[in-house]
Amino acid sequence: MSDDHVYMTLAEGHEDDSRWAFGTGFEDPLHGVDTAVPEGVDAAALAADCVALADDALVLAQRLAEWITRAPELEEEVALANIGLDLLGQARLLYSRAGQTDGTGRDEDAYAYFRDPADFRNVRLAELPREDFAFAVTRLLVLSAWRLEHFRRLTAHPDPVLAAVAAKGVKELTYHRQYAAEWVVRLGDGTPESHRRTRTALDRVAPYLGELFTACDVREEVVAVLRQVTEAAGLPMPAYRPLPGSGRDGEHTEHLAPLLAELQSVARAHPEATW
């Protein structure tokens, strides 16, 4: 290997430039999928569903990214970033689909950067602040278990694009759920401190479960997962007291606005710019 021409030596074996870094390239999951809205599908409703699911993914990815340079071990930095990248990828595809179907022709960034908090439709659990690692993995367990079952159903959606996005997401979410479940078990079983923190996290998450099941009723499957994990972790099943309201109706906690203010700050400071 010659090091006289630094770039020449790096070109070897890298025809596949789209994969220059993980999570940003890979094959197009929509390759060969017809993007016309099939007959009988309500385009406006389809777009609204896509936006809501994209908002969930974007907001949670933003929270996960807050862990970068703050994770408890370097290996976890890599894992959390992987999960954040998967969710960002899902959000981008879903926003794009919304833009194709709601008649506005907007691109993904128009949805992410130029809507106000009241226009976001994510479930509130995704927007709650970062807290500690016990909360991070507990929230991830609940959201990925719920989203996984939701996506499983969507693989049979009459819109072929949404069905294809869901099929890709199922693989990713299966991994997210496993990662989170393993950690909840470790923390629940680990030390008195980790047990206490995980219990607190479960209590913090529980009031937001009802909202998830109103958005997509996969209660039975999700509760079964939670029961299995909490049992292995030696944790009690959280008491189930649903909080009124829903992010799906644009009702949010006080935490969404600052999250979006940060996310949108540069894009809104330069509305004419291209990046």
Exposed, middle or buried: residue 270 (CB in 10 Å: 0-12, 13-18, 19+)? exposed
Name the one range near another protein by CB under 8 A: 74-82, 121-129, 141-149, 201-209.
74-82
Those residues whose C-beta lies under 8 Å from the C-beta of residue 52, and which sit 6 or more positions away, are 121, 122, 215, 248
State the nearest-atom distance from the C-beta of 213 to another protein, in Å: 29
228 binds another protein (CB under 8 A): no
Rounded distance, CA 134 to CA 157, Å?
A: 34
- Using CB under 8 A, which of 98, 179, 238, 247 touches another protein? 179
In the chain, count of helices (H) and strands (E)?
Answer: 11, 0
Cβ closest to another protein, residue 187 vs residue 209: 187
Name the one range near another protein by CB under 8 A: 4-12, 36-44, 143-151, 204-212.
4-12
Rounded distance, CA 265 to CA 261, Å?
A: 6
Task: Name which of 220, 214, 201 is nearest 243 in CA terms.
Answer: 214
State the nearest-atom distance from the C-beta of 123 to another protein, in Å: 20
Secondary element (H or E) of residue 146: helix 133-154
62 binds another protein (CB under 8 A): yes
- Using CB under 8 A, which of 41, 113, 203, 221 touches another protein? 113
Name the one range near another protein by CB under 8 A: 39-47, 141-149, 180-188, 218-226.
180-188
- Using CB under 8 A, which of 85, 128, 154, 164 touches another protein? 85
C-alpha dist (Å) from residue 117 to 87, 88, 249, 256, 260: 19, 18, 12, 7, 7
Cβ closest to another protein, residue 86 vs residue 211: 86
Task: Name which of 121, 60, 48 is nearest 87 in CA terms.
Answer: 60
| Footprint on residues 132-151 left by another protein (CB under 8 A) | 132-133
84 binds another protein (CB under 8 A): yes
**CA 261 to mean position of chain CA atoms:** 19
Question: Contact residues for another protein (CB under 8 A)?
Answer: 1, 3, 6-7, 9-11, 13-14, 17, 20-24, 58, 62, 65-66, 68-79, 81-82, 84-85, 88-89, 91-92, 95, 108-109, 112-113, 132-133, 171, 175, 178-179, 182, 185-187, 189-191, 193-194, 197, 262-263, 265-267, 270, 272-275
